[in-house]
Amino acid sequence: MIDINSPEFEYFLNLSVVLTGFSRFHLQGTGVAHLYFETIRDILGEELFGELLNIFHGLELEKTEQSIFSDRLRSEILASEKFGPITRNIIKVWYMATWYALPLSWRDVFGTKEKDRTFIISPQAYPEGLLWTAIGVNPPGAKGPGYGTWSEPPLVSLNQG
């Protein structure tokens, strides 16, 4: 079980805020933050995952202004051959509750992780995906809007404005 006060979990939440564009409050409100942390750590291993989180934390500590932080985040993490595919997967996990197997080119360089395969992290995580909030709809088959809401026009417009 994870210690909710562990520095690594804090770093993971802070990284997730930056990667997803959602607040820490919103991410924790999904109820799946610990599950995502544990799953990603289990797939990558503590050493590799810890390395990513510590690099991010170092960038946070050295943050002097937002534009410099963003540039360093892009160059040292997102564009990194080693960490770029991982961070893109973290974004996908938060938005779609799915871990995608790391690319073959990544595995050729950094090795194959035994648990690295494409899978939905949990059925409970699906309706909590940030995708649904981002596009302003309820997840199909979950979190129904309630009886009689069919009588109201949809909030999402299909017209290009």
Residues 6+ apart with CB under 8 A from 1: none
Question: Any idea what DSSP says for residue 128?
Answer: G
pLDDT at 70: 87
For 111: left if phi > 0, alpha if psi spans -120 to 50, otherwise beta; the answer is left
Whether 28 shows a pLDDT value over 90: the answer reads yes
pTM of the model: 0.86
Q: Where are the domains of the chain?
A: 7-151
> Hey, is 48 helix, strand or coil?
helix
pLDDT band at 64 (very low <50, low <70, confident <90, very high): confident
Taking only the tens place, the pLDDT of each residue in 89-127 is 999 999 999 999 999 999 999 999 999 999 999 998 999
